[in-house]
Amino acid sequence: MNPFAAQLPHTLLETHFEGLGPKYRGKVRDVYDRGDTLVIITTDRVSAFDHVLGTIPFKGQILNALAQAAFTATADLGPNHVLSVPDPNVVVAKKCRAFPVEMVVRAYLTGSLYRDYQAGTASAYGVPLPSGMKKDQPFPAPILTPTTKAAVGTHDQPISEVQILSQGLMTEAQLQAAKKLAFALFARGQQRAQAHGLILVDTKYELGLAPDDTLTVIDEIHTPDSSRYWVAAHYAERFAQGQAQEMLDKENLRGWLIDRHGFSGHGTPPALDDEIRVTLAERYAELHQRLLGQAFLPVVGDVEARIRGNLERAGLL
């Protein structure tokens, strides 16, 4: 049996670790507060258009593996929040004061920005865009399109650098340092993707200040939840023919919601069927194999029980 299908009854929707500290439930992560540190558990929950839709087999484990590899590959560019990884789904992290702004770096006109571009509302980011661009066309150079960091169930909003400063969300020095780091991280991510036959199309970064006020990378980076990845070998032909790109990221789910169900965030989202759940798991596993150079080896079973055992061995429970 397909191991991704076999894992469907065992996906990790939510964790329940009473002794780990107060819990905050994000869209994908359960975050336990332990004072100076956080225990961040990446579940199998999947969200799109600001709705948590269900679970994808092994999603949390794959996301965590990709994020940790990316943190390691970019550690020379700036510090990140990772202290230890006691379980494939878990990170013990330094508690930072997160900026209420997400740094979204884009190299291509696609996704929500293309929809804004068509609607004439792309100016909300305060970034001038060339006229006459086509869908999936590269920009002359990557651009920054920041968004607000919204609460679960609400929508991130476009924001310009001028607004970030006028609203006091970041100081000028913080904004410039964050921009510099975001572009450096993106360039490194592009290099890693290119080396494995992929295109890193766009991504988001969450940054914060460590207790000593050091600018620190938090949350996740360069995962298929936070980034778009296209298969490089097919890009030029598909772009020339106006075809959709071959994607190895969550955009597959957004496309399924829009094309199959006409859902783009308004009203009640459709239930995920097992076919799309397994398909998305396989796409994520393929990205794991490409970026990390090794196949993802799924082990069917109770994820929460494994996490509990590893947390106990690490002295956290």
pTM over 0.85: yes
Q: Are 288 and 66 in contact (CB under 8 A)?
A: yes
Q: Which residues contact 293 (CB under 8 A, 6 or more apart)?
A: 196
Residue 271 has pLDDT above 80, yes or no: yes
Which of 155, 156, 165, 161 shows the shortest CA–CA distance to 123?
A: 161
- How many percent of the chain have pLDDT more than 90? 85
List domains and CATH numbers for the chain.
3-96+270-313 (3.30.200.20), 99-208+220-240 (3.30.470.20)
Among 105-109, 207-211, 252-256, the minimum mean pLDDT is found in 252-256
pLDDT at 218: 97
Residue 72 has pLDDT above 70, yes or no: yes
Residue 288 has pLDDT above 90, yes or no: yes
Helix, strand, or coil here: 215? strand
For residue 261, the tally of other CB atoms under 10 A from its CB is: 11
Residue 36 has pLDDT above 70, yes or no: yes
Residue of higher predicted confidence among 1 and 150: 1
Greatest CA span in the chain, whole angstroms?
58
Residues 205-220 pLDDT 10s: 999 999 999 999 999 9
Residue 311 and residue 108: Cα distance in Å, rounded? 41
